[in-house]
Structure 1
Amino acid sequence: LEPEDKVETLEGRLSGVDLVALAFPKFRDGRPFTAARLLRTRLGFSGEIRAVGDVLRDQAGFMVRCGFDAFVPADGSTAAIWAEAAGRHSHVYQRAADARAPAFVERQGE
């Protein structure tokens, strides 16, 4: 999907779809973050969501939390570099499309 496309147009049309690629024309365009979250939470999409284009490694962890599984960055960096960037932070501070518990919930279990 291009950022101007609405995720809701895919509702009821995702059966049999294994991959949705969300385009980042510029790193400062955050609409694909919202699209990934909506695909996961509202539309129940369980296939691969791929970030394509001008994506930043610094945002990898946030992208995974929104629902992205794969990255095809414009800078040509490797999957290993992105995997390391996505797993850089061990604690999160708010709920997201992933199932990770926020730090305040972790602290309650201590």
Structure 2
Amino acid sequence: MVETQLRFRDDEPAGDPAVTVDSFGEQTNAAAVRIEPGDDARVLLPHLDRITLVEVNFPVFGDGRGYSAARILREAGYAGELRAVGDVLIDQLAFLRRCGFDSFAPDQPLNAADAEAALARYPEVYSPTVDGRAPIWAKRHGLA
């Protein structure tokens, strides 16, 4: 099960910023990387053991490519922090978590109570994914 934390930008400690996917190979000591829409997350797969943070940018809420990047990383075994940044809305939180995101840094502040309610909104799910929750059909058939 993916542990989810709601983090806001002003909660961030000062530290090394994430590098881009393109410059990641050049930064041999970088432990944080930022994926932009159009970047191929598979470039990072050989380096997952040394990456502690992957930020996935959502420049607009309707750009869903970051969901695929998250699934690629989690299914390949990435266990570090996977943070959705940018135009992240309350309505997306549960679905982002299902794809493997465990923290969020939205451009606009979210009400913490609303965010917790959004993350708890759907107790049952219909399809398997990386968050470890068994789909309802598997429970009905004794497979979970």
TM-score if structure 2 supplies the norm length?
A: 0.70
In the alignment, structure 1 segments of 5+ residues that lack a partner are: none
Give identity over the alignment, percent.
Answer: 46
Residue from 37, 57, 64 that aligns with 2:71: 37
1:6 aligned residue: 40
Are 2:137 and 1:104 aligned?
A: yes
| Structure 2 CA distance for aligned equivalents of residues 82 and 4 of structure 1 | 28
Aligned residues: 108
In the alignment, structure 2 segments of 5+ residues that lack a partner are: 1-34
RMSD: 1.3
Residue from 100, 103, 110 that aligns with 1:77: 110
Alpha-carbon distance, 1:108 to partner: 2.0
Superposed CA offset, 1:59-90 (max 9, x none): 21111110000011111114553233112110
Counterpart residue identity of residue 44, structure 1: G
Distance 1:4 1:62, change over 3 A: same
2:17 aligned residue: none
Residue from 89, 93, 97 that aligns with 1:60: 93
Q: Rg bigger for which structure?
A: 2
TM-score if structure 1 supplies the norm length?
A: 0.90
| Structure 2 CA distance for aligned equivalents of residues 47 and 78 of structure 1 | 25
Moved over 4 A (4+): none
